[in-house]
Structure 1
Amino acid sequence: MLINCVAYEDGAKLADIEVEDISDYVARPNCFVWVALSDPVPEELAALQEEFGLHELAVEDASHGHQRPKVEEYGNSLFVVMHLVEPVMTRGKVEEDFNVGEVDVFVGRNYVVSVRSRSKAGFLGVRERCEREPELLRNGSGFVLYALMDAVVDRYFPVIDSLEVELESIEKQIFDQGGAPRESIKHLYELKQRAMVLKHAVAPLLEGAGKLHGGRVPQICAGSQEYFRDVVDHLTRMNASIESIRDTISTAIHVNLSMVTISDGEVTKRLAAWASIFAVCTAFAGIWGMNFEAMPELKWRYGYLMALGLIVGTCGFLYWRFRKAGWL
């Protein structure tokens, strides 16, 4: 579906145009056309491929989707793939899952084509931002690529914040004696999976964005290198934060398992202590329960009271010792 098709010249908006009129505008020396699509059909991509001369391999990647984030050069043009990581909302409530959309950007000297797939979050705010800064928009399609990339990267920050807040909540539950260890481990693994989804979006994009500000920079991005450096800085911080989250999750899992082991050990000690106490009772009862004739205490008038007193006294002593040792 076509969202926008706008022509710009010298940093100013000329007009909203039809796809059929694109060739008339791209022929102008200081003009470029910005086309935005959402979940396009093959016919729409084919029409733009004909208008702009898009590389067939890049068009094939955009048609199939589910690509790894990357920045590829095709002659004098660029093809950029970025992931859109969005929390899933159900009846106004955030679910413990991510929807991973995709935005593919074709960039040439006189055109920008952004193709958004599997995502409801648009980029109208990016267009408005660019139009408010005509002095920067004069840098052409390279600045538009930066604005799109910066918008995608900025959307990762709230996701990272939500992961950190959830991790802190789970860490508190681990040391809550009333918490369920199995549930905590389940939540930690789910959190780790979501962190990996974000990792797969950030790390490859960091590698690709590094090509746009250092070394041999594509001519399209030559006037916007410092802006791409800012994007790389953000991605580097995010990548470090994700690694920290993953390390903390691993540590939390080990701590949780250790807490379970300690708890099981405490239960085992209590059971062993009570088993020892009852074993003494059983031993005394077994001895005096033997039916031998020559057991003088059995015929003693106070033998029963003596046996009970001995059993109670021994059990009481053992209980005191176990209690002192912390087993009970």
Structure 2
Amino acid sequence: MINCVAYREGVKVADIPVEAISDYLQKPEHFVWVALKDASPEELRQMQEEFTLHDLAVEDAVHGDQRPKVERYGSCLFLFMHLVEPGDLAGGDRCVGEVSVFAGPNFVLSVRNRSKSDFLGVRKRTEAEPDLLRHGSVFVLYALMDAVVDRYFPVLDALEEELEKIEDDIFGKGSARENIERLYRLKRRVMVLRRAVAPLIEAMSELQGPRVPALVANVQEYFRDVLDHLARINGSIDSIRETVNTAIQVNLSMTGIEENAVSKRLASWAAIFGVWTALAGVWGMNFEHMPELKLQYGYALALGTMAAACGTLYWRFRRAGWL
């Protein structure tokens, strides 16, 4: 457990022990915020008893590896999100952190797993805005969601920066194979971020519209702000994916162009040496009745003819851009 704090009308009352949670839940205008890190099943079961959490929601929090989602369980909301950091992307989804948030009318429980980042800044921010914290647990739910989504932006910037470097190398001195490998690795990292963002956009429909839970009915504008951030991130992800696919095609096309240029050069030299070999083969036959073999300057004339023929071919190929 990281902390367990009771609030009244947006103002911190005290850090309280777990045993006192039920007492504060009975007090009007109070709510309790509990934060756990890498919680054990026993700790979660204890929280379930204190807050009367649904079995299915607790099971999702215990096992993890869930798709980002928002679910209703009576008056309680269960939110599951992925915590993505720039250093996590190389290892795929298995290295991505997770956060589960249970929010009820008078409590918030956040459970963070497999993540080095903390939410101390979120608590400090909310406590500095008592007018907003007066909304109760729903404002904490918004603040946690907003903090998670805001951490996606540096990840997105890192992906875009990596893409720009690869694009420069495609037209620079980087090898084609290395560029394609880097593009595919980048594409996999983009997919990790997309799997964190796209389902969350769908899940936000639970917090928007006329039939939203009563818990969030008066603060929908805050969740619209989160949805706007998610939409921007998702649009940038789609743009990166399209650019990566285009870059792969460009890289393959440039490789094909280079191979075609090499083939042209090889074919040109093969034609030149083929003419030389053909003429040398004709005059190299030791037939008796070959008048040019008896000429005084026949050898020089044969070499000159061969050189002229090869030179003409070389000039034509050079003019055509094959050499």
Q: Deviations over 1:228-258 (max 9, x none)?
A: 0000000011111100000010011000100
Structure with the larger strand share: 1
Q: Deviations over 1:24-66 (max 9, x none)?
A: 0001121111000000111100110000001000000100011
Q: Is the 8 A contact 2:86 2:158 kept in 1?
A: no
**Separation in 2, partners of 1:233, 1:36:** 27
CA shift, 1:207, in A, is 1.1
1:174 aligns to 2:170 (yes or no): yes
How many residue pairs match? The answer is 321
1:5 aligns to 2:14 (yes or no): no
Q: Is the 8 A contact 2:32 2:107 kept in 1?
A: yes
Give the corresponding residue for 1:224. 219
Give the corresponding residue for 1:143. 139
Give the corresponding residue for 2:289. 294
Give the corresponding residue for 2:97. 101
**Separation in 1, partners of 2:204, 2:16:** 31
Secondary structure at the aligned position of 1:59 is classed as: helix
**Separation in 1, partners of 2:91, 2:75:** 39
Q: Deviations over 1:262-294 (max 9, x none)?
A: 000000000000000000011011111112111
**Separation in 1, partners of 2:235, 2:210:** 23
After TM superposition, what 4+ stretches of structure 1 lie above 2 angstroms from structure 2? Answer: 95-99
CA shift, 1:213, in A, is 2.8
Give the corresponding residue for 2:127. 131
In structure 2, which of residues 112, 116, 120 is the aligned counterpart of residue 116 of structure 1? 112
**Separation in 2, partners of 1:56, 1:158:** 35
Identity %: 65
Task: Supply the AA of the counterpart residue of 2:228.
Answer: D
**Separation in 2, partners of 1:251, 1:215:** 42
Task: Supply the AA of the counterpart residue of 2:141.
Answer: L
**Separation in 2, partners of 1:302, 1:97:** 77
Which runs of 5 or more structure 1 residues have no equivalent in the other structure? Answer: 90-94
Which segment drifts farther, 238-247 or 285-294?
285-294
Q: Is the 8 A contact 1:11 1:136 kept in 2?
A: yes
Q: TM-score, normalised by structure 2?
A: 0.97
**Separation in 2, partners of 1:75, 1:96:** 39
Secondary structure at the aligned position of 1:294 is classed as: coil
Give the corresponding residue for 1:92. none
Task: Supply the AA of the counterpart residue of 1:155.
Answer: R
**Separation in 2, partners of 1:195, 1:214:** 30
**Separation in 1, partners of 2:42, 2:52:** 15
Give the corresponding residue for 1:317. 312
Give the corresponding residue for 1:160. 156
Give the corresponding residue for 2:39. 40
**Separation in 2, partners of 1:127, 1:142:** 14
Q: TM-score, normalised by structure 1?
A: 0.96
Secondary structure at the aligned position of 2:2 is classed as: strand
Secondary structure at the aligned position of 1:167 is classed as: helix
In structure 2, which of residues 205, 210, 213 is the aligned counterpart of residue 215 of structure 1? 210
Give the corresponding residue for 1:259. 254
Q: Is the 8 A contact 1:142 1:223 kept in 2?
A: no
**Separation in 1, partners of 2:201, 2:2:** 28
CA shift, 1:127, in A, is 0.3
**Separation in 2, partners of 1:289, 1:215:** 96
Which segment drifts farther, 238-247 or 96-105?
96-105
